[in-house]
A and B are shown apart, each in its own frame.
Chain A
Amino acid sequence: GAVVSQHPSRVICKSGTSVKIECRSLDFQATTMFWYRQFPKKSLMLMATSNEGSKATYEQGVEKDKFLINHASLTLSTLTVTSAHPEDSSFYICSYQWVGTDTQYFGPGTRLTVL
């Protein structure tokens, strides 16, 4: 299967600061990728869909100015949580769609804690 990495795996920040999370596909190129968040003991909630070279499409209720997505290349996407608040504390996971299939490969996730 495909390998997806995320960095950092954990981050703790102060309220009001911005945090950038990187998502890389290590052994394949993907034009479409997704960002999810997961609260403790809850399921994954899709935040946005990102196509390389285009603006991300955000799900209802997700603030695009707060969660900035940059799909810079076929192998790298970043999610920046701007002016983070404690309620943004969550597990953020990216996934890449394997081209020509319906299969997604997920990164290992980033645990964000906002104090």
Chain B
Amino acid sequence: SQKIEQNSEALNIQEGKTATLTCNYTNYSPAYLQWYRQDPGRGPVFLLLIRENEKEKRKERLKVTFDTTLKQSLFHITASQPADSATYLCALGTGGTSYGKLTFGQGTILTVHP
């Protein structure tokens, strides 16, 4: 069956360090993968999208990699700040007749300590 796993339920790091979050999937052929940030009691906020034919994307302090052979995406936040503390969700989109439909991982709760 199809499965998306974000390997850590929670991740605690010190301010200034790089946070690395992992998203693994099985039995999917995603056309693209997205990362979202969700704060408590709020809807997800889009961060980055990476397509199946792309290896890496960057946006300011954020970097995402996508390895379709390993079926894994890594999400990095460099020079982390306490304000980065939130739940981070990965989501897969398969395109085709399911265009637009996203399947989400369970999320990783990131806490950045001052």
Interface of A is mostly: strand
Which secondary structure dominates where chain B touches chain A? Answer: strand
B residues 54-105 near A (Cβ < 8 Å) are 89, 93, 100-105
Q: Mark A66-94, 1 if CB is under 8 A from B, else 0.
A: 00000000000000000000000001010
Which B residues are closer than 8 A to A by beta carbons? 31-32, 34, 36, 41-46, 49, 89, 93, 100-107
B49 A102 Cβ-Cβ under 8 A = yes
Could you tell me if B100 and A104 are in contact, using CB atoms closer than 8 angstroms?
Answer: yes
Give 5 A-B contacts (CB < 8 Å), ordered by A residue.
Answer: A1-B45, A1-B46, A6-B43, A102-B49, A106-B44
A29-71 vs B, CB cutoff 8 Å, 1 = contact: the mask equals 0001010000000111110010000000000000000000000
Given the complex of chains A and B, what is the CA–CA distance between A45 and B101 in angstroms?
Answer: 10
What's the tally of chain A residues with a CB closer than 8 Å to chain B? 24
Once the chains bind, are B104 and A103 in contact (CB under 8 Å)?
no
Q: Are B100 and A43 in contact, with the CB atoms below 8 A?
A: no
Query: Please, how many angstroms separate the alpha-carbon atoms of A93 and B41 in the complex?
Result: 10
A104 to B43, CA, bound (A): 11
Q: Min CB distance, B4 to chain A, in Å? A: 8
**Bound Cα distance A43, B44 (Å):** 11
Q: A44-B89, A104-B100 are in contact. Are A93 and B106 (CB under 8 A)?
A: no
